[in-house]
Amino acid sequence: MSRELQSISFLASSTPAAQEAARRLSVLYGNDKPENAGVIVALGGDGHMLNTLHRFMGTGVPIYGMNKGTIGFLMNEYREDGLRERLAAATQNVIHPLTMTAIDAEGNTHDALAINEVALFRQSYQAARLQIAIDGIVRLEELVCDGVMVATPIGSTAYNLSAQGPIIPVEAPLLALTPVSPFRPRRWRGALLPNHQTVEIVVLEPDKRPVNAVADATEVKSVRKITIRESATDTGLILFDVEHSWDERILAEQFRY
């Protein structure tokens, strides 16, 4: 069945503006249950879009966002007219999330997926001391910093960009390894990694300098070791209007000044 004939499910964030938009759009286009829909339309901001992508990861159902939040980098412009035609013409990108496996101070193992990034942050006033290995080979014996992250292409324009990390085209087979406020080595600005490589980070002096790990909205406190790799099995689908595709957003962001 062609996309414009598929049923639509509107999922709105809790804000009044998003809830009102869902009500109006439901009158115009109907509102199927999410489990029966061919397309999910997420109404809200980037946070709501990430939550929706997580919820439908691996289902094969594409997610089309319309901005009823603030920045809305992952969202399309909110318009009520011609929605079925926009859905039919939209470009589709495949998202490959990261898997995080974190071991905490009690020896417990925590697994989570991250669409944007997996990040480590110092938990106290003292800087973190981290050792970084790529595919089992230690590449950085000691990084003293506020934190470090591994970002996906879709997450490269989020926190990664704020930390001066590189912007990555969505189809590029790369991950960004980006430090946050590095103190030593002071000139290290991170690395671009092939997306098939595995990043292992060991927290040095974890009792004196505790570190938390965050995979999107999932946080693990007092981690000792963390392993990050691109998932080989989990995928999500995101839709963008042709005139404002992800490639266009990436290009525009790189020429901002």
Q: Are 45 and 69 in contact (CB under 8 A)?
A: yes
The residue range of the domain holding 147 is 98-230
Closest by alpha carbon to 47, among 155, 160, 119? 155
Is 228 annotated to bind a ligand? Reply is: no
Distance (Å, rounded) from C-alpha 248 to C-alpha 184? Answer: 36
The total of structural domains in the chain comes to 2
pLDDT digits (tens, 9 = 90+) for 58-94: 999 999 999 999 888 899 999 999 999 999 999 999 9
146 assigned binding-site residue: yes
Q: Is 193 annotated as a binding residue?
A: no
195 vs 184: CA distance, rounded Å = 26
CA–CA separation, 90 and 67 (whole Å): 16
Active site residues: 46
User: Which strands form 8-12's sheet, in the order they lie side by side?
Assistant: 8-12, 39-44, 62-67, 236-240, 91-95
Q: Where residue 56 sits, what CATH number does that domain have?
A: 3.40.50.10330
Is residue 240 domain-shared with residue 152, that is, in the same domain? no
Q: Which amino acid is at 59?
A: T
The pLDDT tens digits for 201-223 are 999 999 999 999 999 999 999 99
pLDDT-based confidence at residue 4 (cuts at 50, 70, 90): very low
Task: State the CATH number of the domain containing residue 118.
Answer: 2.60.200.30
Same domain flag for 133 and 214: yes
Residue 207 known to bind ligand: no
